[in-house]
Amino acid sequence: MKKSLSAQLSVTVVSLILGLALAAQFKNVQRVGGSVSLQRTQELTRQVQKLEQENEALEARIQEYERRIKEFENAVQSEDQSNRLIYEELERTRMLAGLVDVQGPGVVVTVNVKHVNEWGQDAIVQNVRYDDLLKLVNELNAAGAEAIAINDERIIATTEIRNAGDYIVINTNRYSSPFEIKAIGNPDTLEAALKLLGGVADDLGVYLQINIKRVDNIRIPKYRGTFQYKFAKPVQDTNARS
Amino acid sequence: MLLPIIGILVGIILGLTLPIHIPTAYSSYMSIAVLAALDSVFGGIRASLEQKFEPDAFISGFFGNAFLAAGLAYIGDRLDVPIYLAAIFAFGTRLFQNFAMIRRHLLNRWRERIRQ
């Protein structure tokens, strides 16, 4: 069985291309994890839409309840002068808890992915991860920030910052880059704390694009969620220790 | 038979080592194209065993099938008709048929050798 050289060569070239395509596809599937069927996509889309609608309805209810609380407070305040002290204390506590919009001078830090040119292709070094944001928030708190918000999600005592798939969840809402961290405090101190030699900005700057800007007046919105204490109860007897 | 196998191996190694990335959106078309290409290669092996191999028909079939399959899948996606199923069905059936023929040819050859 003797074949001409050109036939052999053509088969070899075609096999080479087939091998290349096979390997490329194999790598792709490994990276992405195969394709998702159309039905499943549609089903998930419907679910997302339904949940979004439910979310909107619930948010409307929150606003309604907040309005009613305000009404009660106003009624109490006008009722008695001695209640005013209580009301003032309440306002102070709310500010501490992050339940009121606040404004003041501070810094705005934008965190975005860094693009590099790799093999002639545009690629990103690394996605923004939750611990990058935690480090920045931690540093800002250490530098005396009085209020912090990431993408207008107020950071409070129970705020979580965690990865969930391709997103980062903050106060149960999903976000992806770019992130904008607003912090109210002494702008000099805040900026200096971040820009410290070998500090957070230096560290994260290796693989992320970090931009720190001083702003004279920042507005930080209040926490939009609700609090529920199922397990924790205030201690009544101050002497009792366990 | 040796050169094509070497070709496939070299191709796979190159593909795994070189940073080739297919955008995720085109991954499904690529998979159909790969299936069509596999079918062509099996067809080529069968033809060569039957002494009917024609390089020009083989090469045009290889690229033509791959592009037609990927193109049909693309159009199907745009029109929301799963045409890629037809491609998978056609090429898959042919693949098994070709393999059966290849098997038979090889078995016949083996039997003849034993008889001698």
* Structure confidence by residue, pLDDT tens digits, B33-65: 888 888 888 888 888 888 888 888 888 888 888
Q: Per the CB < 8 Å rule, is B41 touching A18?
A: yes
In a domain? residue A71 = yes
Q: Which residues contact A242 (CB under 8 A, 6 or more apart)?
A: none
Residues 77-96 of B with CB under 8 A from A: 82
What whole-number distance in Å separates Cα of residue A21 and Cα of residue A109?
Answer: 44
In a domain? residue A47 = yes
Looking at the structure, do residues A119 and A203 belong to the same domain, yes or no? yes
Q: Per the CB < 8 Å rule, is A8 touching B31?
A: no
**First-last CA distance in chain B:** 23
In a domain? residue B16 = no
Residue B53: domain span? 27-115
Q: How many domains does chain A have?
A: 2
Q: Can you tell me the ipTM of this complex?
A: 0.74
**The pLDDT of residue A215:** 92
Using only C-alpha atoms, what is the Rg of chain A? 27
Taking each helix axis as running N to C, give the angle between helix A5-32 and helix B27-49, from 0 to 180 degrees, rounded to the nearest 10: 150
In angstroms, the separation between the Cα of residue B8 and the nearest Cα of chain A is 5
**The pLDDT of residue A28:** 75
Instruction: Residue A140: give its domain's CATH number.
Output: 3.30.70.1880
In a domain? residue A116 = yes
Give the closest of B27, B33, B37 to A28, CB-based. Answer: B27
In a domain? residue B5 = no
What whole-number distance in Å separates Cα of residue A42 and Cα of residue B1?
Answer: 47
Closest CA to B39 of B91, B3, B93: B91
Give the closest of A7, A20, A38 to B11, CB-based. Answer: A20
In a domain? residue A242 = no
Per-position pLDDT tens, chain A of length 242: 445 677 777 778 888 888 888 888 787 777 666 566 677 788 888 899 999 999 999 999 999 898 888 888 877 777 776 777 888 888 888 888 888 899 999 999 999 988 887 777 777 888 888 999 999 999 999 999 999 999 999 999 889 999 988 889 998 888 988 899 999 999 999 999 998 888 888 888 888 889 999 999 999 999 888 777 888 888 887 665 55
In a domain? residue B17 = no
Q: How many domains does chain B have?
A: 1
| Pick among B9, B13, B27, B67 to test the A interface (most A CBs inside 10 A) | B27
Starting at the edge strand that comes first in sequence, how are the strands of the sheet with A167-170 ordered?
Answer: A161-164, A167-170, A173-175
Closest CA to A218 of A96, A105, A99, A140: A105
* CA-to-CA dists, residue A131 to A18, A148, A162, angstroms: 43, 16, 8
Low-confidence residues in chain B, pLDDT < 70: 1
Residue A89: domain span? 38-96
Helix (H) / strand (E) element for B85: namely: helix B83-115
**What is the chain A residue with the closest CA to B42?**
A15
Q: Per the CB < 8 Å rule, is B59 touching A14?
A: yes
Closest CA to A183 of A113, A106, A86: A106
Chain A residue numbers with beta carbons less than 8 Å from the beta carbon of B70 are: none
Helix (H) / strand (E) element for A42: namely: helix A38-79
Is B10 at the interface with chain A, CB within 8 A?
yes
